[in-house]
Amino acid sequence: MPYIHVGEENSGSIELYYEDHGTGTPVVLIHGWPLSSASWERQVQPLLNAGYRVVSYDRRGFGHSSRPTVGYDYDSFALDLHHLLTKLDLRQAALVGFSMGGGEVVRYLGRYGSERVRKAVLISAVPPCLLKGDDNPDGVELNVFDGIRKAISTDRPAFLSGFLADFFNVDQLGGKRVSSQAIQYSWNNAVGASPRGTYDCVAAWGTDFRQDLAKINIPTLVIHGDADRILPISATGVRSHQLIRGSHLVVVGGGPHGIIWTHAENVNHELLQFLAAA
């Protein structure tokens, strides 16, 4: 399996697992919490069939990557992505981030610019700023994040089961757009992640990306479901679209948080159309 070295913790090396397939213009897929790059299953083949080079990787602490106890913040995540793009010498790449992965895309562009990147896609993404504050009155109270951390530390497997029910809007879409086996597959993926990484990532959700969004100077597509229970569109997708100059917003009607699975056809159509545009 291929790995990228991104740092050390005590005597151990921190390595990111990645996959690199196909030829053509590179598309880098950045997964959401608490999953791994395996969650892009329904996008990889259509992208390869369309002639793109598809690079996906597991965030530190998730999937096949190393499981350190440090670095679960967006500055570290963006640096990890920078290491990947530099090591593979990717140029004219499209960065596609889902959920928490959208934060990597935005923080990377805010910190490292668009020299290597031609387009950006944010799907069900966490920016611009979830944490409530004086200048962000519509955000989420800190005690909500505290409650999530408590639930993870008390019974992580049980928490993940409930989380995925809302992730896919199972009460409405179960057996229709998402099978019980697909939900189980996602749970298996999530429960295999680092417990410390799963817990520590919650604090990163409060990151303020507004200054990063203002720096984005490349074509950007925002895709979000209007039935997202994890990251409601009014607090995330709509606001990110408003803050990114010239961005395009696509609203997936009835789409839950996990639209890359439940509404893969819609997402793939919009993604491929956007990537192919001049």
Active site residue 153: no
pLDDT value of position 137 = 87
DSSP β-ladder status, 117-123 and 93-98: parallel
* pLDDT tens digit sequence for 217-238: 999 999 999 999 999 999 999 9
pLDDT value of position 45 = 98
Residue among 66, 76, 99, 240 flagged as catalytic: 99
For residues 182 and 33, what is the distance between their CA atoms, to the nearest angstrom?
A: 16
What are 203's strand-pairing partners? none
pLDDT value of position 210 = 97
Active site residue 99: yes
Helices 142-167 and 195-204: angle between axes, nearest 10 degrees: 120
Q: Cα–Cα distances in Å, from 259 out to 66, 164, 211, 251?
A: 27, 12, 27, 11
Q: What percent of the chain has pLDDT over 90?
A: 95
For residues 244 and 221, what is the distance between their CA atoms, to the nearest angstrom?
A: 10
Burial of residue 155 (CB within 10 Å: 0-12, 13-18, 19+) is exposed
Tokens 């410390």, located at residue = 196
Whether the pLDDT of residue 1 is over 80: the answer is no
Is the pTM higher than 0.95? yes
Residue among 58, 80, 200, 228 flagged as catalytic: 228
Domains, the chain, in order of start with CATH, read 3-276 (3.40.50.1820)
